[in-house]
């Protein structure tokens, strides 16, 4: 889980956000960071299973498979028990 509860910290709009832009309103920064971290993890651990975004609440847009970065990344092609 590279980013736990992204809307409440690094990719939220509060004081802990790096740019005060919520990933729920404008996900481009979150998706860029996700893609970079996903590539880093997979480069070091090719068989790693990566989950996310693990938001603090269930949001409609994260229930849509097009809204989650994991569905856009290579991890979506791995099912449990496979590499």
CA–CA gap between residue 11 and residue 23 (Å, rounded)? 5
pLDDT tens digits for range 13-40: 888 888 998 888 888 888 888 889 989 9
Higher-pLDDT residue of 71 and 7 is 7
Instruction: Decide if 69 contacts 20 (C-beta within 8 A).
Output: no
Name the 3-class secondary structure at 28: helix
Prediction pTM value? 0.66
Instruction: Decide if 78 contacts 49 (C-beta within 8 A).
Output: yes
């Amino acid at each position: 889980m590279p980013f736990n509860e992204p809307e409440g910290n690094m990719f939220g709009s509060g004081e802990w956000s790096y740019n005060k832009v919520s990933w729920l309103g404008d996900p481009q920064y979150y998706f860029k960071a996700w893609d970079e971290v996903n590539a880093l993890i997979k480069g070091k651990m090719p068989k790693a299973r990566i989950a996310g975004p693990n938001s603090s609440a269930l949001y409609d847009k994260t229930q849509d498979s097009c809204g989650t970065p994991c569905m856009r990344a290579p991890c979506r092609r791995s099912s449990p028990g496979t590499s």
